[in-house]
Amino acid sequence: MRVWTASLSLVAILAACSPVVEPTATTAVTPEVEPAPTTTVPLVAGCSGDVEFFEGVGIGNMDHPGSDSDVIGTITWEQADACETFTIEFETSEGAPPTTPPSYSARYIDGLPVIRIDLDVDSTTVTDGLVETSLVNRLYVVRKLEGGMFIDLHLAAPAQARVTTDLSPARLVVQLQPGIVDYRQSPALGSHIVLLSPLDGAPVDESAAFSGYTRSFESNVIVIATAGGQVVYEGFTTAADSIETWGEYLLETELPNEELSVFVGEESPADGSLDGVTITLGQG
């Protein structure tokens, strides 16, 4: 469900109040890490209501230990003027509408244009989506390594966010409106892999941690680092899922302190070709 309502007056107001911000590229290359804000941001023209918006920090959380929401059922979105609303509906394990939303925690991932909603659910009928609204590019539904799931909203432009809940039927409502924090770095995206960390152009960390999510064959993730055309590291890990939905992965290792080209992805079971993303790490 998409509702598109243009508002030339709102665009004019925003343009007068702040510099033009280009949408974040999906393969940004920069060694600096932008510090995330640590305060809330006042309301700007956008969504109505008096519930507070946040940007760059924790957005909100709620504990519902007796929730009957076991499955992410549908995720729909609509855009009206400068307000975007994402509605997450749930199901019980029997497929019926639940009365109480699951426990959740919503926050911005530090240093990235990504909003993460952690959910205490077991399953999903939604895996991902190409959103392409003014504020959001894509969304991913991911099974966590430690259990439960999360939904990542990848931002297309600076955005403030708030989360509210509905009962009977159970819903989680995420609202976004234009923000002020422009992230110059973005995750590396492939057809079956998302690499959140490290970022392209970052310095080598001797205790490197490769993290993100994948839908690779049999949940396999390989990491190959080369320097001067020679392989200096090759590692392997298994993600939390790849059959029902995207699966979170984490590979912690040590790398030599030199400029590296690093591939993260999978090896094709058909012909052995590599499918994934490649980033460059600079000498620390």
Per-residue tokens: 239: 């993600």
Alpha-carbon distances of 52 from 59, 84, 111, rounded to whole Å: 9, 15, 22
Q: What is the tens place of the pLDDT at every residue in 55-70? A: 999 999 999 999 999 9
In this prediction, residue 43 carries a pLDDT of 44
DSSP 4: -
Of all residues in the chain, the percent with pLDDT exceeding 70 is 84
> pTM of the prediction?
0.83
Name the pLDDT band for 162 (thresholds 50, 70, 90). Answer: very high
* Summary mean pLDDT of the chain: 86
Least confident of 18-27, 84-93, 133-142, 253-262: 18-27
Is the sign of the CA dihedral 98, 106, 139, 197 positive or negative? Answer: negative
Amino acid at 98: P
Q: How many other C-beta atoms lie within 10 A of the C-beta of residue 244?
A: 14
Cα–Cα distance, 108 to 4 (Å, whole number): 26
In this prediction, residue 192 carries a pLDDT of 95
The CATH number of the structural domain formed by 188-281 is 2.60.40.10
Q: State whether residue 42 is helix, strand or coil.
A: coil
In the chain, residues under CATH classification 2.60.40.3500 are 8-178
In this prediction, residue 11 carries a pLDDT of 32
Q: What is the tens place of the pLDDT at every residue in 167-212? A: 999 999 999 999 999 998 899 999 999 999 999 999 998 789 999 9
Residue 36 has pLDDT above 50, yes or no: no
- One DSSP character per residue, 244-266 reads SSEEEEEEEEE--SS-EEEEEEE
Least confident of 36-50, 158-172, 191-205: 36-50
In the chain, residues under CATH classification 2.60.40.10 are 188-281
- Ranges 8-22, 38-52, 139-153, most confident: 139-153
Nearest to 57 by CA among 120, 119, 105: 105
Residue 142 has pLDDT above 90, yes or no: yes
Nearest to 279 by CA among 11, 271, 265: 265
In this prediction, residue 49 carries a pLDDT of 87
Instruction: Name the CATH architecture for the domain at 8-178.
Output: Sandwich (2.60)
Of all residues in the chain, the percent with pLDDT exceeding 90 is 75
Higher pLDDT, 119 or 66: 119
Nearest to 23 by CA among 184, 191, 196, 188: 184
Cα–Cα distance, 229 to 127 (Å, whole number): 37
Q: What is the tens place of the pLDDT at every residue in 252-282? A: 999 999 999 999 999 988 888 999 999 999 9
In this prediction, residue 130 carries a pLDDT of 97
Q: State whether residue 273 is helix, strand or coil.
A: coil
Name the pLDDT band for 50 (thresholds 50, 70, 90). Answer: confident
In this prediction, residue 19 carries a pLDDT of 42
In this prediction, residue 32 carries a pLDDT of 42
Q: How many other C-beta atoms lie within 10 A of the C-beta of residue 235?
A: 16
Q: What is the tens place of the pLDDT at every residue in 93-110? A: 999 999 999 999 999 999
In this prediction, residue 45 carries a pLDDT of 65
